[in-house]
Amino acid sequence: MSAAVLHSESLAWGYDASAPLGRDLQLELEPGEALAIVGPNGAGKSTLLRTLAGARAPLDGRVLVGGQDISALSLEQRARRLALLPQDEAVDLDLTVRELVQLGRTPYLGAFGRLSRDDQSAVEEALEACELAPLASRALGEISGGERQRARLAMCLAQRVPLLLLDEPTSHLDLRRRYELFEQLAALRAERELAVVVVLHDLVDAYDAHDRVLVVADGEARVVARDDREALARAFGVPEKRIPV
């Protein structure tokens, strides 16, 4: 357990302890691993992700990040261990792309709030990784939705944390940018041993780009193999022939 980046013990999540969205989740994620979370709408995928990130308290059990209970960490300590990219979070459209990415360095700023040389390096590296350097001085309101999504991802990458949690990061991205996103994350996993948890709707992307796929449905969450089409069909409530993997 000590080597795990993320670990959950008997985790229950949701909004009502008498009717949790899911329970008894035992999960362990090692450095460099990628986990996709899939399931039908309303099954609790995003709520689970936010619980794993510490943005919501568990209904039962606990979440450990780097061996420490996430509930015992301050917001700054948490931001140095993981980055959470929520789905369609509002941003100030007057900010430039660079200013948004710089916000990823907030947990590391000193008393005077100034970016150090290392902070600047992390920002430029994230801009380059997301192919945003040519847009760095543009306001967020002047670029496309897909470009804003990449800017939000760059902000998370600028945190330089060992764990990245992404909720529907491919929304607003076309096929090419989706491919580039997963290639980029694969490279970061190899270079930095970055662990990644991604909520997705697309089963092909989930199985092609991740080590394991966690299926959330009917109050349960379990890892399902790609060839278990019966389990996938049951989870999504469709005939097996409609499962595209």
> CB within 8 A of 78, min separation 6: which ones?
53, 54, 65, 70
Q: Is the pLDDT of residue 1 over 60?
A: no
Question: Are 126 and 155 spatial neighbours (Cβ–Cβ below 8 Å)?
Answer: yes
CB contact at 8 A, 132 and 150: yes
* Domains of the chain as residue ranges with CATH: 1-45+57-81+165-245 (3.40.50.300), 90-160 (no CATH)
pLDDT of residue 90: 82
Angle, CA of 115, 100 and 74, to the nearest 5°: 70
In this structure, what token pair is assigned to residue 44? Answer: 């609790």
Hey, what are 117's tokens? 């040389």
Do the Cβ atoms of 9 and 62 come closer than 8 Å?
yes
- pLDDT tens for 210-243 read 999 999 999 999 999 999 999 999 999 999 999 9
The burial class, CB within 10 Å (0-12 / 13-18 / 19+), for 174 is: exposed
Q: Whole-model pTM?
A: 0.92
**Is 39 in contact with 201 (CB distance < 8 Å)?**
no
- At 34, is the pLDDT very low, low, confident or very high (cuts 50, 70, 90)? very high
**What are the tens digits of pLDDT across the range 38-88?**
999 999 999 999 999 999 999 999 999 999 999 999 999 999 999 999 987
